[in-house]
Structure 1
Amino acid sequence: MAIISLAKRDDLDEDGKQFFDERLRKGKRITNMTNTLMRSMKSFYAMEFYPIRDEMIKIVGNRATYFYCYAISAQTDCLVCSTYHAKLLRDLNIRPDEFKNTEIEKILIAYGRAIVDDANNVPEKLYVQLKDIFTDKELVIITTVGCKMIASNLFNQALKVDLDEYLYDVDFKADLQTK
């Protein structure tokens, strides 16, 4: 059960109400995590994920980005974020029993898991692989996405944010070991 109750529009400050109204006007969903963060719009903006995630998508595409985020979320055991990214993978028609990761996906999955497990001890071989593929700027973007993903995972876990109802039917038990 969530530690913070979901906010109603009237619970929000003016910035939050404006954000709330804009989301609804655009027909966008307000997830449980977003709703929780909207109690402090400064917190919401500090945790904002999609602008940097969209930069990573420009570099490696949706699929590789989603596998990277899924691997990080699964490694931190965050139900909300791993289920959300599993849904995004499912929406790309990726079947867990049929997919084969690309070499870039394998490297990103390994990097995501490594930064969760021990960011001080990412294997040197992995850095060499990353530097062979990505520019310094791209590697900064990819790492920032990973850090934002980890922060989102910790936020959801610390405040026990409930899984959004639209994710209840997601059942994605893919083994992300490189294939």
Structure 2
Amino acid sequence: MPRITPLPATEATPEVQDAFDAHVSDYPGSRITNMKATLGRSVLAFQVYMQWYPLYEEVKKILGHRLAYLYAHAISEGSNCPLCTTFFRRIIIDNGEQPENLTLTAHEQAVVDFGSAIAQNKGDISDELYEPMGEHYSDAQLVILVAFAGQMIATNVFNNVLEVNIDEYLYPYLPLTGPIHAQS
């Protein structure tokens, strides 16, 4: 059960509803999920967290579509966030792969390991993990990748602390074992 329930649509102020509408309009295919409706209890918090989207677009330009979602998945899994991990499991599965059986190049593995380590080690990254990234990406690109990891971790923390329920549309993508915050 969530610690704070998502804001019911009937209780959204005009300012919050405008923010929700703008988000769905700006990002076709997006929806107001349990997390977003919970954030809707503070329009400022909602707006800040929705900056994840333009940052993710930049990550996709740097890493490409597949590696971007694998990077986000690794960060979410490293943060132990059931909701975000399931969200990215859906993308992996919908793209024809199994999250538990990915085939990665050495470079892709380095990026995934980097993202996971940022989350697991609270940003304490060994030279061994950082150097391949520094050799492959520019300073500007690394700033985007690390900033995105921080934004992804902030999202993971929000969902974990408030025990935000996993949205029903994600239920088919839940792992067969492990902790979940799905509604009973």
Same fold by TM-score greater than 0.5: yes
Q: Which residue of 1 aligns with 2:38?
A: 36
CA RMSD of aligned residues (A): 2.0
Structure 2 stretches lacking a partner, 5+ long: 177-184
- For 1:24 and 1:68, locate their aligned partners in 2 and report how far apart those are by CA, in whole Å: 24
Q: Which residue of 2 aligns with 1:65?
A: 68
Q: What percent of counterpart residues are identical?
A: 32
The answer to whether the 8 A contact 1:96-1:172 is kept is no
Q: Which residue of 2 aligns with 1:79?
A: 82
Q: Which moved more, 1:29-38 or 1:9-18?
A: 9-18
- For 1:125 and 1:20, locate their aligned partners in 2 and report how far apart those are by CA, in whole Å: 42
- For 2:78 and 2:2, locate their aligned partners in 1 and report how far apart those are by CA, in whole Å: 21
The answer to whether the 8 A contact 2:76-2:119 is kept is no
- For 1:109 and 1:23, locate their aligned partners in 2 and report how far apart those are by CA, in whole Å: 28
Q: Which residue of 1 aligns with 2:158?
A: 155
Query: 1:145 is matched by which residue type in structure 2?
Result: F
Q: Which moved more, 1:14-23 or 1:126-135?
A: 14-23
2:64 match: secondary structure: helix
Query: 2:76 is matched by which residue type in structure 1?
Result: S
1:161 match: secondary structure: coil
* CA-CA distance at 1:109 after TM superposition: 1.3
* CA-CA distance at 1:97 after TM superposition: 6.1
- For 1:62 and 1:143, locate their aligned partners in 2 and report how far apart those are by CA, in whole Å: 17
* CA-CA distance at 1:20 after TM superposition: 3.0
The equivalences for 1:1-179 within 5 A come to: 1-22=1-22, 28-48=30-50, 49-96=52-99, 99-119=102-122, 121-171=124-174
Q: What per-residue deviation string (whole Å, max 9, x for no partner) do you get for residues 26-76 of structure 1? A: 664111111111111110122121110110001111211111111111112
Q: Which residue of 2 aligns with 1:177?
A: none
1:4 match: secondary structure: coil
Q: TM-score, normalised by structure 1?
A: 0.87
1:121 match: secondary structure: coil
Go from structure 1 to structure 2 and tell me whether the alpha carbon gap of 1:77 and 1:138 turns closer, same or farther (over 3 Å shift).
same
- For 1:55 and 1:24, locate their aligned partners in 2 and report how far apart those are by CA, in whole Å: 19
Query: 2:149 is matched by which residue type in structure 1?
Result: G
Q: TM-score, normalised by structure 2?
A: 0.85
Aligned residues: 173
